[in-house]
A and B are shown apart, each in its own frame.
Chain A
Amino acid sequence: MGTKISMVSVSKLYSRFRPGNSISLSAGTVKECLCNSGIAPSDIGLLINTGIYRYRNTGEPSIAALIQNKAMPFSPGKASKGKEAASVPNTFSFDLNNGGCGWLSGIEIIDGFIQTGQIRHGIVVTADSEPFPGFSENYYFNTAAAAIILSGTETTGGFSHFRTYSFPGFCEEFISSTRFGNLKGKWGERNILVIKKSETYVDNCIDCAVISINRFLDETGFALKDIDLIIPSQCPKGFLTGIKDRLGISCKLVEVRNNMNKELHTAGPAFALNNSWNDNRFKSAENILFLTVGSGIFVSIALFKNLSY
């Protein structure tokens, strides 16, 4: 049994003057995904949110539960009293945080539940937005969201060979946390999001990714020439150029044009997938490599074998 991609959907806020809300943006992409795929919300067994920077830094409930409520609303009025629980769809949702690799970790978990037959369809949704707009230092990510629906299929192919490689020696290279204090040019003390990125972070991400790809190919018995397409993370800036140069695979790498001088964080690989999905590069490729990189430094890789082959 394989796990196929039923639908992918992305969304981005283009207005500089309208503060973005990660929850409504995510819910919009989930709705669009469900609508385009024709899958009923009640058939979704798992919904995992992998976004990191969230609306007002909500701690509970999970952002996934709030997205589920907006995108897949359930009206208790339709159920008779006492039988409400039985009529509520069997969707379970939670948040997963694994930096830039969270989206692929979410896919791996849903693939697992599909493989064991516990669910038929699952959604991984991800979005990042500035928690308190205007109250951050060095926050440079696009307000963007993406959702992907995964489904079980009887044919072979789909996702396989999930691997995560960690390089804990670089865990201090990218740190984002809050501090309570004043922000230059703003009145009063606040909780401020601060992002600290070392100058060597991009180079180390490239090094770690190259090492990981080589280890992945060794472990799985594939060669780089067997890979037709690579769906990579879109940040940090310079990562894609470095990978292209080091591996010499420019035509295989999907790059998303982003001209707002910001970066696509957790939704980056989903935007790349969406681009290749729309221009048929994805459908015409046989072996597709998903490559994500994030703080830690973590590198997650998975292979997708196209079902049409």
Chain B
Amino acid sequence: MRIEHEQRDGAWVVRLAGDTVLDAASAKQVREGILALLDRAPAIVVDLESVAFLDSAGVGVLVSVFKRARLARRRLVFTGLQPEVRRVLDLVRLTEILEVRPDLAGALRAAQRGASTQA
């Protein structure tokens, strides 16, 4: 799984490309890829549009990077949840704990709010 990113409106949009499964096999690479960007980006939007499935290791990646972003005083927002991914996150109630927005524009707005208040 590759990690691509672009800067948009003061936030970095991170996209997972290649593999459509976020599981134990890709978890480490994704975690490290996002964490590497955390130090440089004032705010990050993680677009999960290309992820069709994730297991507990994948869920662990989301929790882990969210935690690290909080520690680094960076706003991290998830968006682009596919139905299966949303179903898993809903089951473990993570949609209520993490910052999740239904679309990229909303995620960018939320990320910018965080970036401006933490600046």
A binds B: no
B-contacting residues of A (Cβ < 8 Å)? none
Interface of B with A (CB < 8 Å)? none
